[in-house]
């Protein structure tokens, strides 16, 4: 159960990373991304905490690295899952609530600056200071929600992908399309508007732009999409806010053509 939770989180973070990092210019809000993900003991359900302590090295009251993205200053500084963050610059990370302490430290010339010094304690107890140069990324996090429903949705701020959806979409390119579609709803501020088929088609078009800029194979994404189940439409069949699969496919094809005429993906906009 814990291993599965980790695997789903890691996969979602890995697939979403290029979508966030390569699309900062198109996002309404950006954040400085230090190249690592964090977790703490109380992120886990009570029943899993003993395992989280034993296998992940988590301790009550501490903030720990959960994953490190390759090709980042964090990876070069040899940060590893299980390392504890003791301080960001000179701001200690402690107290309750822990994340508030961390967020304050980060805002106080932490990752908002070009270079931050992060004090680390490894699992073996060694302490060192890592120099972190954060990247600018889209501030739309993706989160795994444990549920039997096959569903991807957004609350207007973050992308929520169910565990059942992730299992139903074994291909990463196809998962990226689901994430990109939900990111598009956030970027387009669609949640403030009445759901319509036009908004859904707009989110599909925007998703292909986000995908192309992130380096995903958009032809493959659309052809996988065509042959797969369409979880996002899995809501009640009586609401007509979702266009038919055929209408979406046509819309995708049109956008693929437009995107391919743009010589450089970094020039692509919605
Ligand atoms: Zn949608």
31-137 belongs to CATH 3.40.50.2300? no
Q: How far is the CA of 56 from the centre of ligand 1 (A)?
A: 35
Task: Report the run of H or E that residue 197 belongs to, with start and end.
Answer: helix 197-213
CA 101 to ligand 1 center in whole angstroms = 35
Compute, in angstroms, the gap from residue 28 CA to the centroid of ligand 1. Answer: 18
Residue 100, phi-psi category: left (phi > 0), alpha (psi -120 to 50), beta (remainder): alpha
**Ligand 1 centroid to residue 38 C-alpha, Å:** 29
Question: What are the structure tokens assigned to 102, written together?
Answer: 């961390």
Q: Helices 2-21 and 49-56, interaxial angle, to 10°?
A: 70
Give phi and psi for 82, each to the nearest 5: 100, -15
Gap from CA of 185 to ligand 1 centroid (Å): 7
Judged on CB neighbours under 10 Å (0-12, 13-18, 19+), 82 is middle
Q: How far apart are the first and last CA of the chain?
A: 40
Ligand 1 center–CA 194 separation, angstroms: 12
Ligand 1 centroid to residue 107 C-alpha, Å: 33
Fold of 139-267: Zincin-like (3.30.2010)
Using CA atoms, how far apart are residues 162 and 174, in angstroms rounded to an integer? 14
**From the CA of 182, how far away is ligand 1's center (Å)?**
6
C-alpha 118 – ligand 1 centre gap (Å): 39
**Prediction pTM value:** 0.88
Q: How far is the CA of 139 from the centre of ligand 1 (A)?
A: 19
DSSP β-bridge partners for residue 101: none
Residue 152 Cα to ligand 1 middle (Å): 8
Closest CA to 154 of 136, 168, 141, 138: 141
Strand partners for 84: 64, 121
Alpha-carbon span 117 to 78, nearest angstrom: 14
Q: Which two tokens stand for residue 4?
A: 């599965």
Q: How far, in Å, is the centroid of ligand 1 from the Cα of 241?
A: 9
Mean pLDDT by 10 residues, the chain (270 residues): 88 96 96 92 91 93 94 95 94 87 81 86 96 94 93 94 94 96 97 93 98 97 84 51 89 97 94
| Residue 150 alpha carbon to ligand 1 centre in Å | 14
- Domain residue spans of the chain: 31-137, 139-267
The three-state secondary structure class of 125 is: coil
Q: Three-state SS for 46?
A: helix
Measured in Å, residue 145 CA sits from the centre of ligand 1 at 17
Ligand 1 center to 10 CA (angstroms): 24
Ligand 1 geometric centre to CA of 18 (Å): 20
Phi, psi of 165 (to 5 degrees): -65, -45
Which H or E run contains 84?
Answer: strand 84-88
**Backbone φ/ψ region at 71: left (φ over 0), alpha (ψ -120 to 50), beta:** left
Residue the block writes with tokens 């990876």: 75
| 159 Cα: distance to centroid of ligand 1 (angstroms) | 11
DSSP string, 198-209: HHHHHHHHHHHH
What's the CA-to-centroid distance between 32 and ligand 1, angstroms? 27
């Amino acid at each position: 159960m814990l291993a599965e939770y980790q695997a789903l989180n890691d996969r979602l973070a890995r697939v979403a990373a290029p979508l966030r990092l390569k699309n900062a210019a198109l996002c309404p809000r950006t954040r400085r991304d230090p190249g690592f993900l964090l977790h703490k003991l109380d992120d886990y359900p009570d029943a899993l905490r003993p395992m989280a302590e034993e296998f992940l090295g988590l301790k009550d009251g501490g903030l720990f690295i959960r994953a490190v993205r390759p090709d980042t200053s964090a990876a070069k500084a040899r940060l590893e899952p299980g390392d504890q963050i003791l301080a960001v610059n000179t701001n200690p990370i402690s107290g309750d609530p822990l994340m508030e302490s961390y967020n304050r430290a980060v805002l106080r010339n932490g990752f908002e600056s070009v270079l931050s010094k992060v004090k680390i304690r490894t699992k073996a107890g060694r302490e060192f200071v890592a120099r972190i140069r954060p990247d600018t990324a889209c501030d739309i996090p993706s989160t795994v929600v444990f549920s039997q429903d096959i569903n991807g949705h957004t609350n207007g701020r973050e992308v929520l992908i169910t565990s059942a959806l992730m299992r139903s979409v074994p291909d990463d390119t196809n998962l990226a399309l689901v994430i990109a579609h939900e990111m598009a709803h956030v970027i387009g501020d669609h949640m403030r508007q009445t759901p319509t088929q036009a908004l859904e088609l707009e989110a599909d078009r925007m998703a292909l732009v986000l995908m192309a800029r992130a380096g995903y194979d958009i032809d493959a994404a659309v052809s996988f999409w065509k042959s797969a189940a369409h979880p996002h439409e899995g809501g009640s069949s009586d609401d007509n806010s979702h266009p038919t699969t055929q209408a979406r496919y046509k819309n995708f094809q049109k956008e693929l053509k437009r995107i391919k005429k743009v010589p450089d993906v970094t020039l692509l906009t919605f």
